[in-house]
Structure 1
């Protein structure tokens, strides 16, 4: 027995070499992550959207089905409120804020709320409002003063909240945005809440891709946001009087641009002279939810319908031009990963959960192709460290479509799905390990 213990120690390095050879044959070259991919400038010019930029994505996977100038940062006006919304909901879920907390508006927020040329519910300096009421005013009526009051409460100061927005954007992987206000007004329009060191004309800018990322994060982390963004009309209680708030999202059921075939239930509009008419929307149809973003649609008055017409055109393009392909859990694409010191030197892997891809109707015969990359933290000496349990997550499947380029919000060009072992792999005994090392000397 002592002989074999010594043999194990002295030949472990040689064994690593043998295992590395097996690993390479089994696909160790796929360990690196998928390289980032740029979105096409215009993925389908035949759609001819009347907007400066646009994007359509799957709300779950982030697959991009359409893009037009989607990576250029542009003014987005009140669509900025979605990032503020995320931070408010984050504070609620962390326990730092509750819906029934009362807020007495600070001077800057109260003053902006009195500006009748902007979308607002007038806030009183001597009255307190619940977080829930200000939150509803922000999302339903795009109330600018109410948004600032919420931001002040969450951040402790207007400047600090903007810093929080910038930090959150970077955590989302957004590095091209310009952020100065919580509500999307220019820096000069928020009065004493202006961000220091910036000019009065500085304004928030995000790309269409950025806005889709923010929308996807909200829908994933805080899906209850749709309970509010789907409200068409509600009264705002201001103590002695009330303000009727009508949703600016006219694609909601019962409003001017509602379309039965597209049951839109959120998210946010944005309008200004520099931004034009903007709209980030979401719709759940036939069991599948998508997000669309329109930036810079024509704008000449508050009654413009262009952004909704462009949104309808884009949503219809996705649902009519693509087929939804389900990839079931436990799908086996004949992929293996190397195993170190296992009874078997490789293990078969399958998809750990159900997922999906949108396939162009012109490519309905497109087949799914797959590669797999191992989870680096589980690797030792060039392979997954045995023993391995059945159903253990050991890596990532990278799924593509033969004949169709894929793009995702995170920059990947493949759909990433957790990969798990198809069967258990026991650890080899010391005799097998020693024998492999010994026979490896003669190969």
Structure 2
């Protein structure tokens, strides 16, 4: 009873009260591993034991679905492609204790299986998608490892498409050691996977924002109560994935900023599975209270009078403006000005110079970094482009300009 009382107090604090300003430096989640990042730039807003690999269970589905969307993007299949349910995948729905939904029809579209995999965490649906993409789950695992390596993730353990313990899959050909292995990623790795999925295939959010879906005339409900209408509803939450009662990857857009949070293995989560939602709520409170989406330069505007020299132009210089907004998550109490560095503007351009021509780049120079700073170790940048057309100088100025250049270069 005492443990339940303490749990209810923690819930009320998480939902009703924001994280204390004075306690910001001491804030810790009640989970073994955690991280929060801003999605567009990948800036790390908070981390706690975020680089130690841990079992991730069905969070693995995020990587699986990424590869499904990639296969669609490559024209290898479509959302309407029918997928046969193999005996292996089907038998798991009737003989195994793993999370599943009935797949008695034995053929479903890619979209239906994506819904089942992400919303209901149906493991057989995930396996069927992996087999459709790669021919077998083993071949699909190789694709998963290759994709992680391409993102710079080198500490992962990937043994299947679902994240299930191998012993639950009842594969008799595996050794005892292999049966005990599970998919393992660090919280940082999971954040990288979730960010890549959202950035490269934002349509996934149309799936993960659904609290339920229909299959074979039956309505199946998801496991994310932070969505609209859920017990832990939070405005702005539109995904992503819960796992094993103790872990959760979530994303929310609030104050024009999208944040991704990863909570792995909440303490006492096996007893109180709701705790992962409370810890996710707390971590989102922290991120949105202490960071704000801040412009460095807006699209169409110069940065600190950025310009280039123009040879033989009607004007001697041309304004270099941002091709799009350069934004970042600024810690509110960080008082030093965050700057950017322009590159390429020392080059002289020949007239005529057309509006929109790329003249250089502008890269953020953020010095207020947490942990790795940015998940891909790369700060955001935008192109600097010509703000307007610069026509050539009129004769005789044009003749004189070319004569002077010839003398300087040839004589």
Q: Which of structures 1 and 2 has the larger relative contact order (alpha carbons within 8 angstroms, sep 6+)? A: 1
Alignment partners' CA distance in 1, 2:94 and 2:202? 32
Asked if 1:405 is matched to 2:355, the reply is no
- Asked whether the 8 Å contact 1:108–1:193 carries over to 2, the reply is no
Deviation at 1:309, TM superposition (A): 0.8
Alignment partners' CA distance in 2, 1:173 and 1:127? 37
Q: Residues 195 and 373 (structure 1 numbering): CA distance in 2 closer, same or farther, change over 3 Å?
A: farther
Where in structure 2 are the equivalents of 1:384-423 lying within 5 Å?
386=350, 388-401=353-366, 404-405=368-369, 407-412=373-378, 414-422=379-387
Where in structure 2 are the equivalents of 1:192-341 lying within 5 Å?
192=171, 199-237=178-216, 244-259=219-234, 262-271=235-244, 277-301=246-270, 304-326=273-295, 327-334=297-304
- Give unmatched runs, 5+ long, in structure 2: 1-23, 393-397
Deviation at 1:148, TM superposition (A): 0.4
- Asked whether the 8 Å contact 2:32–2:267 carries over to 1, the reply is no
Where in structure 2 are the equivalents of 1:26-425 lying within 5 Å?
45-115=25-95, 117-124=97-104, 127-192=106-171, 199-237=178-216, 244-259=219-234, 262-271=235-244, 277-301=246-270, 304-326=273-295, 327-334=297-304, 349-363=320-334, 365-374=335-344, 383=347, 386=350, 388-401=353-366, 404-405=368-369, 407-412=373-378, 414-422=379-387
Deviation at 1:400, TM superposition (A): 2.9
Alignment partners' CA distance in 1, 2:390 and 2:198? 38
Deviation at 1:338, TM superposition (A): 7.3
Q: Residues 401 and 158 (structure 1 numbering): CA distance in 2 closer, same or farther, change over 3 Å?
A: closer
Moved over 6 A (4+): 193-198, 337-347, 425-428
Q: Residues 372 and 357 (structure 1 numbering): CA distance in 2 closer, same or farther, change over 3 Å?
A: same
Secondary structure of 1:408's aligned partner: coil
Secondary structure of 1:333's aligned partner: strand
Alignment partners' CA distance in 1, 2:283 and 2:152? 25
Deviation at 1:114, TM superposition (A): 2.3
Deviation at 1:96, TM superposition (A): 1.9
Secondary structure of 2:246's aligned partner: strand
Alignment partners' CA distance in 2, 1:226 and 1:357? 22
Secondary structure of 2:78's aligned partner: coil
Name the stretch that deviates more: 165-174 or 248-257.
Answer: 165-174
Q: Residues 435 and 173 (structure 1 numbering): CA distance in 2 closer, same or farther, change over 3 Å?
A: same
| Aligned residue-pair number | 377
Alignment partners' CA distance in 2, 1:281 and 1:301? 19
Deviation at 1:342, TM superposition (A): 7.1
How high is the TM-score relative to the length of structure 1? 0.75
Q: Could you say what the CA RMSD is over the residues aligned between the two structures, in angstroms?
A: 3.2
Q: Residues 171 and 346 (structure 1 numbering): CA distance in 2 closer, same or farther, change over 3 Å?
A: farther
Partner in structure 2 of residue 21 of structure 1 = none
Secondary structure of 1:114's aligned partner: helix
Secondary structure of 2:273's aligned partner: coil
- Asked whether the 8 Å contact 1:114–1:123 carries over to 2, the reply is no
Asked if 1:435 is matched to 2:407, the reply is yes
Alignment partners' CA distance in 2, 1:384 and 1:155? 51
Secondary structure of 1:250's aligned partner: coil
- Give unmatched runs, 5+ long, in structure 1: 1-43, 376-381
- Asked whether the 8 Å contact 1:233–1:244 carries over to 2, the reply is yes
Alignment partners' CA distance in 1, 2:58 and 2:106? 25
